[in-house]
């Protein structure tokens, strides 16, 4: 009997035994840095002539892993292998597929700190952020396994006389799974797990900034008993690998999480029907955000300031849900600025392996330069830097948590996704103006409102156009099953990962209708003839 889903508990690192376990995991991972990892297609380990390296953003001379650059031929082979594997995996009973995810979740629990330690090194997550990522990956496996069992059970239909009818959900086909680097275990595991538990096969192309943790998850799939060819591990550039697997006529759907620009490009390519293609490809996309927290004049200012700072600078602001805009009522604007600055100045930037670190390096040199340019743009357009603004790219890609006040609605840093530790603070005339500013964006992922007035909160429920709205709490930190996650407009297809609708995106419904008595009569007729 499957138990009711419960979220994986987060680790309390104030307990010495937990801190010791994490330090031991970090040391273990350090000894394993710099290994070379293959492509895996149909179970075969493949090395290529061209390689690339994944490096530690907080220590740019430290190689985390060396990976293969797949060729177009190998990318095509991965899709064809997945296509052949689909013939058997798609008819594997749902209970067996769900059991596989339960086993994977169990393995992740056993190696929880080790998986977190890989993220500390590969994407510069601090202890708490990495632990939360691993816990969410476990949650996705546990939740989607239960969801598949629910969808595999008899589905309710209206009954009529003279017929037996049934509805079943069947797999789509080959999935191209392209996960992001910022939640390199949780989102990658969730996207991959959802695809395979529903009976699809996968070509997994992780981000080139976070391939190691994806390979570690792939090894867990193998250890849990996943048949060869159901998930095929490929690495390389978007042009050499990504475009090929998206375009291939045997690709049935694409599951993508990443930037708006890449998501739109994938959607456009997927819409073109290739020679030999028998279906309209489905695109499941979770893209960017320009998330805002509104602070009304009647809000608890201390709570609001804490929520803003945590949402803006947790994991260096490298979350699609991060607060990049604080929209504050003019009556409390100056008081809120003081509280935001006070809390931001306490953030300790440093090595993510150090438990005292609150914020670390951004993901790579390109992001480092882009974020710095946004800070300069913010100043050039009249913004006032209250704290931060400094950077150090010599050892790692470090940027100070930066608060820019007096940003005008419509300014570049108020409109464009920065994906870094930069908070734009905008003064609103009143609550009406704040809602208008918040909605005046092409995105619609997360948002929050701090107010003691229930009427204002109800207006936000009706008028704040985001997929995930939070009231009197921060706009980051969605839990699987609790806060189904996905946004509107250019934030994606509102896929609602971690929700009860999510697996429907990976399946199609088939109805079987049988006339009562027709089958029995046919058998009797056949028997008489014989």
Tens digits of residue pLDDT in 460-494: 999 999 999 999 999 999 999 999 999 999 999 99
| pTM, rounded to two decimals | 0.96
Mean pLDDT of 386-415: 97
Is 42 a residue whose pLDDT tops 60? yes
> What's the per-residue H, E or C state across 327-373?
EEEHHHHHHHHHHHHHHHCCCCECCCCCCCCCECCCCCHHHHHHHHH
| d(C-alpha 188, C-alpha 177), whole Å | 8
Is 523 a residue whose pLDDT tops 90? no
pLDDT over 70 percentage in the chain: 98
State the pLDDT at residue 527.
46
Angle between helices 127-152 and 186-197 (to 10 degrees): 10
State the pLDDT at residue 526.
46
State the pLDDT at residue 529.
44
Q: Which of 181, 178, 180, 211 is nearest to 192 (CA)?
A: 178
Domains of the chain in sequence order? 22-286+500-511 (3.40.605.10), 291-471 (3.40.309.10)
pLDDT bracket for residue 86 (50, 70, 90): very high
User: If DSSP codes are grouped into helix, strand and coil, which group holds residue 191?
Assistant: helix
User: If DSSP codes are grouped into helix, strand and coil, which group holds residue 27?
Assistant: helix
pLDDT over 90 percentage in the chain: 96
Q: What does the DSSP assignment read for 434-476?
A: HHHHHH-SSEESEEEEE-S-HHHHHHHHHH---SEEEESS-S-
Mean pLDDT of 140-158: 98
Report the catalytic residues: 286, 320
> Dihedral of the CA atoms 314, 500, 495, 282 (nearest 10)?
140
State the pLDDT at residue 267.
98
User: Across-strand partners of 90?
Assistant: none
State the pLDDT at residue 519.
54
Mean pLDDT of 150-158: 97
Of 171-175, 231-235, 240-244, 330-334, the least confident: 240-244
The contacts found for 45-50 with CB under 8 angstroms, 24 or more apart, are: 46/74, 48/74
State the pLDDT at residue 1.
77
**167, 404, 428, 434 from 297: Cα distances, Å:** 52, 20, 10, 11
Q: Which two tokens stand for residue 344?
A: 């931001």
State the pLDDT at residue 517.
86
Task: Give every CB contact of residue 148 below 8 A, 6+ residues apart in sequence.
Answer: 94, 97, 98, 101, 197, 198, 503
User: Across-strand partners of 492?
Assistant: 286
- Which DSSP state fits 421? S
Query: Which residue shows structure tokens 């949650």?
Result: 139
Mean pLDDT of the chain: 96
For residue 73, how many other CB atoms are within 10 A of its CB? Answer: 9
**112, 185, 186, 279, 319 from 130: Cα distances, Å:** 10, 9, 10, 39, 13
State the pLDDT at residue 390.
95
Mean pLDDT of 349-368: 98
Mean pLDDT of 240-269: 97
Mean pLDDT of 267-290: 97
Q: What does the DSSP assignment read for 249-261?
A: TTEEEEEEES-HH
State the pLDDT at residue 518.
65
């Amino acid at each position: 009997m499957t138990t009711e889903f419960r979220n994986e508990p987060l680790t309390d690192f104030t307990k010495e035994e937990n801190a010791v376990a994490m330090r031991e995991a970090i040391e273990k991972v350090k000894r394993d840095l710099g290994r070379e990892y293959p492509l895996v297609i149909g179970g075969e380990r493949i090395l290529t002539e061209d390689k690339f390296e994944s490096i530690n953003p907080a220590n740019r001379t430290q190689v985390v892993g060396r990976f293969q650059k797949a060729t177009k031929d190998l990318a095509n082979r991965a899709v064809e292998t997945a296509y052949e594997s689909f013939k058997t995996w798609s008819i594997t009973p749902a209970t067996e597929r769900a059991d596989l995810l339960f086993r994977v979740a169990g393995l992740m629990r056993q190696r929880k700190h080790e998986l977190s330690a890989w993220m500390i090194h590969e994407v510069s997550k601090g202890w708490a952020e990495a632990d939360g990522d691993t816990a969410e990956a476990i949650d996705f496996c546990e939740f989607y396994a239960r969801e598949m069992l629910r969808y595999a059970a008899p589905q309710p239909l209206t009954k009529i006389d003279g017929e037996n009818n049934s509805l079943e959900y069947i797999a789509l086909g080959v999935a191209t799974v392209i996960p992001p680097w910022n939640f390199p275990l949780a989102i990658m595991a969730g996207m991959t797990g959802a695809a395979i538990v529903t009976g699809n096969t996968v070509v997994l192309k992780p981000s080139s900034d976070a391939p190691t943790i994806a390979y570690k998850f792939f090894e867990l799939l193998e250890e849990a008993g996943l048949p060869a060819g159901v998930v095929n591990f490929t690495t390389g550039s978007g042009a050499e690998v990504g475009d090929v697997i998206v375009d291939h006529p045997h690709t049935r759907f694409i599951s993508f999480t990443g930037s708006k620009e890449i998501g739109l490009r994938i959607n456009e390519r997927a819409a073109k029907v290739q020679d030999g293609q028998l279906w309209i490809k489905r695109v499941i996309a979770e893209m960017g955000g320009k998330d805002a927290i509104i602070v009304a004049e009647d809000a608890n200012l201390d709570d609001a300031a804490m929520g803003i700072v945590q949402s803006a600078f947790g994991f260096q602001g490298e979350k699609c849900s991060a607060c990049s805009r604080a929209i504050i009522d003019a009556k409390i604007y100056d008081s809120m600025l003081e509280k935001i600055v006070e809390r931001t100045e306490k953030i300790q930037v440093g090595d993510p392996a150090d438990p005292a670190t609150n914020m670390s390096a951004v993901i790579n040199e390109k992001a480092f330069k882009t974020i710095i340019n946004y800070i300069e743009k913010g100043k050039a357009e009249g913004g006032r830097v209250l704290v931060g603004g400094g950077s150090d790219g010599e050892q790692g890609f470090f940027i100070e948590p930066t608060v820019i006040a007096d940003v005008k609605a419509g300014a570049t840093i108020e409109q464009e996704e920065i994906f870094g530790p930069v908070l734009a603070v905008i003064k609103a005339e009143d609550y009406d103006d704040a809602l208008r500013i918040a909605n005046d964006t092409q995105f619609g992922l997360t948002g929050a409102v701090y107010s003691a007035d229930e009427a204002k909160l109800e207006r936000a429920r009706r008028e704040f156009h985001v997929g995930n709205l939070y009231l009197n709490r921060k706009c980051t930190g969605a839990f699987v099953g609790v806060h189904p996650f996905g946004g509107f407009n250019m934030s994606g297809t509102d896929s609602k990962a971690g929700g009860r609708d999510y697996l429907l995106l990976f399946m199609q419904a088939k109805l079987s209708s049988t006339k009562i008595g027709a089958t029995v009569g046919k058998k009797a007729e056949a028997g008489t003839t014989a």
